Amino acid sequence: MLSVSGALAVLPVDEAEALQEGAGLGASADFDRMNGHLWQVYQLARSKKAVHPVVRDQLSMLNEALASGRGPTRSLLSAAADLFQLAGEVAFDGNRYSEAASSYALAASVGREADAYDLWACALVRHAYVEMSEGRHRQAVQLLGAAARLARRGDSALSTRQWVASVQAEAYAGLGDLTACERAMDQAETVRELAGGSANGGWLRFRRGAALGGAGSALRPARTVRPGRGDADGRVEAVGSCGRPLVPEAGCGAHRSRGDRCAAG
């Protein structure tokens, strides 16, 4: 089993010690750095469930920092919203859909408290994947509509809006709505217009440079795709449900089948 100390073992000693000390003092920047490291550990871990103890320990430290008033509240809440999404990923990977949905709901709630619109939106996107995995595409569309509204209030330099749109295409395809699917894919295509740094490699990984082909003549059935991981080299091919191939770089925002998924979100 991994522990926070185990997860830090691959870092230089000085950096690992500084991270642990900073997190213990409630330093939000150190929580953010640790969260980013945990996303990397999770993406590379062969056994995703092995990351759960690390995430649980980090959440406990965050909760203690919030309860004691150490550090800026909004920044700590944002770090918690990030980490709850990773906790949901771990649960989703283990087919614990109810637990995943609860984690995503918590992430959305904490993101709302932090006024972190992009984090909030991404939590709703991941929750929508739980709905789609169980065939509830209408519920997914509702969640994604809310996510789209939030993303418009977020950072326009991030690819949140485009990731939401790419997932909306999957949901609309599940409903057989080709027109809405095509419209969503058009929005997702605008990821090419973003500058570098539009994704952070953790809770948002839908990147600039995605190559989308022409729309297919017929609507393809939506694939069940999942939130969170990319291949070891970060390149994954996902086929858009409207018949468009989508090849995002470095971990994308369309999700894949179990054991081979990528996201962005």
Q: What is the DSSP string of 147-190?
A: HHHHHHTS-TTSSHHHHHHHHHHHHHHHHT-HHHHHHHHHHHHG
What pLDDT is attached to residue 144?
A: 98
CA distance 82 to 216: 36
Q: Name the strand (E) or helix (H) holding 29.
A: helix 28-44
User: Does position 247 have pLDDT exceeding 60, yes or no?
Assistant: no
Say which DSSP state 256 is in: B
Dump pLDDT digits (tens) for 141-195.
999 999 999 999 999 999 999 999 999 999 999 999 999 999 999 999 999 889 8
Neighbours of 223 (CB within 10 A): 18
Summarize pLDDT for 68-125 with one digit per residue, the tens.
876 678 999 999 999 999 999 999 999 999 999 999 999 999 999 999 999 999 999 9
Residues 6+ apart with CB under 8 A from 240: 166, 169, 170, 185, 188, 212, 246, 254
CA distances from 112 to 37, 103, 123, 176, 197 (A): 24, 14, 10, 32, 23
Neighbouring C-beta atoms of residue 217, cutoff 10 Å:
6
Query: Which helix (H) or strand (E) element contains residue 212?
Result: strand 211-212
